[in-house]
A and B are shown apart, each in its own frame.
Chain A
Amino acid sequence: MRGSSLKYLAKEGVRNVWLNRLMAVASIGVLTACLLLVGIAILLSENVNNMVLFVEQQNDIVIFIKDDATDEQVAELEAAIDSQKNIIQKTYISQAEALEEMTERIDAAAELFESLEEDTLPASFRIRIDNMAYLEDIILYIDQYDAVEEIYAPNNVAETMVSLKHTINTFSILMISTLILVSMIIISNTIRATVFARRTEVGIMRHVGATNSFIRIPFLIEGIILGLISAIIAYFVIRFAYNNVIGVLFENASPFLQSLEESIVPFQTISGRLFGYFAAAGVALGALGTLISLRSHLKV
């Protein structure tokens, strides 16, 4: 195809958006609504996942060290902990620090601890991991070192968190897939109405010997433009709504809600990705919807 023909087809695609502006507005409206629903599902899923992660990271795993462990054995254990990439935080608590901590915690009975020797309580490593799903593997790995006396780990919390995350992810995927499918059906019907209104044009194209790809290109460009416009509108609407809802929610929040504020995903951290999703989904839905709608009109 000549460059001039491609330029003409691109120009036609843009011109058609304006000429069929009523249908274009309807398509953009439907597509924007669908993208907003998908966006809400994504944001909900991101936030719930982040909250689960936040709760996960509040759980310490304590590795008690044997009293008779040598310095080499402790160093070996520390190196083993450092080698695990899922461990995001590690603190060494010496025997003296453990006692001091205990004394501070049980302030009323401080006198009782005064008579205790510094080495009464065991030294330990306190670690935090980024994903509870790896908890069991990490415990099994560390437990084989000689310096380890005992490992305290919140196994029940881990199981609950892992199962909760799994449920949330499955639900999000199902919800987003359903919404995309519904959007596809609605969009292809809206575009079908546009194409039907222009069936004379398509018929003339066929009669003068246009190939199917020549007929498709302007409609495809039109679909992509509508998809992109919808993506931009949906992005700004969701950005405005998200920031305002978060603002209102935490303005006079209860202590419980305030404790969750730290785990709320700031819009800036997800904005690029969300716009990418919207643009990709908008373009794909617009283009696919157009192709599906045109199919019956292109039969020779």
Chain B
Amino acid sequence: MIDLIDVSFEYENGTRALSHVDLKINSGEFAFVVGASGAGKSSLLKLLTRETVTTSGKVFVNGFDLNRIKKKHIPKFRRSLGMIFQDFRLIPTMNVFDNVAFGLRVTDHSAKYIRNRVPYVLDLVDLKGKEKMRTNQLSGGEQQRVAIARALANDPPLIIADEPTGNIDPGLSLQIVELLIEINYRCGTTILMVTHEHDLVRYFGGRTISIENGEVTFDDYIKGTNEAWWQNHRKD
């Protein structure tokens, strides 16, 4: 699903953001990527979404070799990803339905498919009945749910969430992570969640990758403080 082999990345001004990173995330996994500001998390995401390319090393995502991919194939690659951002990145002039449908329209799906798919994903994120609402009429948590629904709409095998709880209340943050874990569990979608909120990671536990000064310093499974939550959900 994601395979980084000895990846290093330097910005044009010579700043080294990532140094000899090896990372493998398999299909169906849920992984947290943690690290302080400037640790290299954003650079990692830019490499994974092919906004930039490595200085050395190889990056494979969803079967695409991102070092060798042709420019004309980048849109096709990005359709195999679902992206969730800290600032939601919803289009304020569109209602909830159109924001979710946006990703499907961009990828040239039929009107009939869009009519069926959008209510389905909105139901998944518990926003049924809010299709006609403007996004600025929603709470931060609800806006992030719309963004998750948009990421899910294309049924991508991989969702990358960049600080998805960064702009919402702590209580709602738990709900958002719960929702992402639920999607991972029910739909089998691989999820990579980047966060700097260590408490959140400790609460849920699971595979945790820690980046410091551009290097992976920790990559293992940690036991969450809320183990009961996991057990309850896995029993479903």
Contact = CB atoms under 8 A, between A and B. Distances in A.
Given A203-B89, A207-B89, A208-B106, 10 more contacts: A2-B108, A2-B110, A200-B89, A206-B75, A208-B78, A208-B150, A208-B154, A209-B76, A209-B79, A210-B106
Contact of A208 (B50, B93, B107, B111): B107
A140 interface: no
A300 B110 contact: no
A112 B140 CA distance: 110
Interface residues of A, number: 20
B138 interface: no
Interface in B80-96: 81, 83, 89, 91, 93
Q: List the 4 shortest-distance A-B pairs measured between CB atoms, nearest first.
A: A209-B79, A209-B78, A208-B103, A210-B106
A300 B71 CA distance: 7
Contacts of A91: none
Interface string A287-300: 00000000000001
A272 B78 CA distance: 48
Contacts of A205: 106
B213 interface: no
A210 B104 CA distance: 10
A240 B77 CA distance: 55
Contacts of B105: 5, 8
A204 interface: yes
B129 to A, nearest CB: 24
B102 interface: yes
A206 B78 contact: yes
A156 interface: no
Nearest to B91: A201
B23 interface: no
Contact of A1 (B81, B103, B108): B108
A48 B83 CA distance: 63
Interface in B164-215: none
Contacts of A242: none
A4 B107 CA distance: 12
A254 interface: no
A19 interface: yes
B74 interface: yes
A205 B79 CA distance: 11
A214 interface: yes
A83 interface: no
A214 B106 contact: yes
Contacts of B108: 1-2, 5, 214
A211 interface: yes
Given A209-B107, A210-B106, A204 B76 contact: no
A207 B91 contact: no
Contacts of A2: 108, 110
Interface in B36-70: 49-51
A211 B110 contact: no
Contacts of B49: 207
Nearest to A211: B75
Contacts of B74: 300
A203 B110 CA distance: 23
